[in-house]
Copies of this chain bind each other. A is one copy, B any other.
């Protein structure tokens, strides 16, 4: 679920917003003044910034410009009691994605948050990716994502996973990997690098121990076991 930062000095409103969003399933962090809000919005990871304009410390507009400057695509919604058209125009022109005038209803807040998040770049789908067990492997970014964490893959690891993913459900011999990933002539060289790289990959895939299976005497197979178990001994 996305994380939302709320910067709002009025305690009642801040708590109201945070509770609403939490209830809707978001993770929320609230800040009561411009200084702590500015720091948090520049140094932490989150998906949406809800920003009051009138704040002690840094003003909302200052925070808005700084965040826009350093994170040009960060979704930002302004919440403000200033309801003049000129205020709204100024906020939107400064880069906000939406401008909600106080007082506002809970449902509208949620609906606008959703609308802005629909457009957020973080929601955009990754290009080439493979699903294995509970993981999604992003072959472009070289990352392996479980439900609640993202782990990096080293270049060699991504090469191997990519090769296995392309030939998914087929058993790949160590020699085939050596030849096509390491570009080493397997004859003669009796290295164990393949085994070790597989071992390291399995550690990163620890939640799905069966995703990367050993076929004794043959090699390794990536993919769901169901199909393969059925095909075990059709020939030979």
Residue from the list B85, B107, B127, B128 in contact with A107, Cβ < 8 A: B85
Chain A interface extent, by class: 35 or more
A5-13, A24-32, A92-100: which lies at the interface: A92-100
- Give bound CA distance, A69 to B43, whole Å: 38
Q: Are B121 and A93 in contact (CB under 8 A)?
A: no
The interface residues of chain B lying within 8 Å CB-to-CB of A85 are 104-105, 107-108
Q: Are A92 and B112 in contact (CB under 8 A)?
A: yes
A19 contacts partner chain B, Cβ-Cβ < 8 Å: no
A179 contacts partner chain B, Cβ-Cβ < 8 Å: yes
A47 contacts partner chain B, Cβ-Cβ < 8 Å: no
**CB contact under 8 A between A92 and B69, given known A42-B179, A85-B108:** no
Shortest distance from the beta carbon of A80 to any chain B beta carbon, whole Å: 14
**CB contact under 8 A between A127 and B112, given known A89-B107, A105-B85, A176-B70:** no
Chain A 149-181 interface mask (CB, 8 Å, partner B; 1/0): 000100100000000000100000101100110
A236 contacts partner chain B, Cβ-Cβ < 8 Å: no
- Give bound CA distance, A42 to B185, whole Å: 6
Of the candidates A45, A93, A104, A108, the one having the most CB atoms from chain B within 10 angstroms of its own CB is A108
- Give bound CA distance, A126 to B140, whole Å: 11
A192 contacts partner chain B, Cβ-Cβ < 8 Å: no
- Give bound CA distance, A43 to B69, whole Å: 38
The interface residues of chain B lying within 8 Å CB-to-CB of A110 are 89
A187 contacts partner chain B, Cβ-Cβ < 8 Å: yes
Shortest distance from the beta carbon of A196 to any chain B beta carbon, whole Å: 20
